[in-house]
């Protein structure tokens, strides 16, 4: 977003020097949009092997950035700054793994909606997500900072 009196060059410099982390964007978005919903962050998905094999499997376990429940729907979120097409494949895998995840047994038959969260509108990604019935949501640095200010946190 262009601030009053800010040139295009200043805007591009500000965007290019965005030091925001993916986790900061996700946390602010969850606070702003879903603070009343049941939510989990950094969620392991899939069947765990035996205790003996668990340590070996730690390197190949799948981790969704967030899951939340809203209006009878399970939302699986994958966040990324400048999110690319790989996020779609990750989400599709997470959707398959979710019903077999022990911690979510009570939700295994609930409908699942996939969501890509990013800080930048990429029209190609938005179109691809739309074709695959995946929500593509933009939550940029200005929105993150607005949320942080409301929480009395320093801006990024």
Residues whose CB falls within 8 Å of the CB of residue 15, separated by 6 or more in sequence, listed in order: 141
- Name the pLDDT band for 13 (thresholds 50, 70, 90): very low
The SS3 assignment for 71 reads coil
Q: Tell me the per-residue pLDDT of 39-84, one tens digit each, with 9 for 90 and over.
A: 999 999 988 766 676 666 665 678 999 999 999 999 999 999 988 9
Sheet with 135-138, edge to edge strand ranges? 38-45, 62-70, 73-80, 112-118, 135-138
pTM, to two decimals: 0.81
Would you identify the CATH topology of the domain 19-150?
Trna Endonuclease; Chain: A, domain 1 (3.40.1350)
Coil, strand or helix: which one is 138? strand
For residue 85, what pLDDT is reported? 93
Domain boundaries, the chain: 19-150
Q: Which of 147, 127, 146 is nearest to 3 (CA)?
A: 146
Query: CB atoms < 10 A from the CB of 142, how many?
Result: 13
| Residues above pLDDT 90, as percent of the chain | 59
pLDDT greater than 60 at residue 112: yes
Q: Which residue has the tokens 């695959």?
A: 132
What mean pLDDT value characterizes the chain? 85
C-alpha–C-alpha distance, residues 33 and 24, integer Å: 14
* Three-point CA angle 36, 102, 74, nearest 5°: 35
C-alpha torsion angle, residues 146, 121, 84, 63 (rounded to 10): 30
């Amino acid at each position: 977003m262009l601030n009053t009196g800010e040139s295009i060059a200043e805007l591009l410099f500000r965007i290019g020097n965005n030091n925001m982390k993916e986790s900061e964007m996700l946390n602010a978005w969850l606070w702003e949009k879903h603070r009343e919903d049941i939510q989990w962050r950094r969620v392991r998905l899939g069947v765990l092997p035996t205790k003996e094999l668990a340590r070996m499997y730690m390197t190949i376990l799948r981790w969704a950035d967030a899951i939340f429940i809203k209006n009878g729907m399970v939302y699986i979120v994958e966040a990324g700054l400048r999110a690319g097409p790989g996020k779609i494949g990750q989400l599709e895998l997470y959707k398959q793994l979710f019903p077999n995840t022990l911690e979510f047994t009570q939700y295994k038959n609930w409908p699942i909606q996939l969501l890509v969260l990013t800080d930048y509108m990429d029209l190609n990604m938005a179109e691809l997500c739309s074709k695959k019935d995946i929500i593509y949501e933009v939550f940029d640095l200005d929105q993150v900072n607005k949320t942080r200010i409301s929480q009395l946190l320093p801006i990024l």
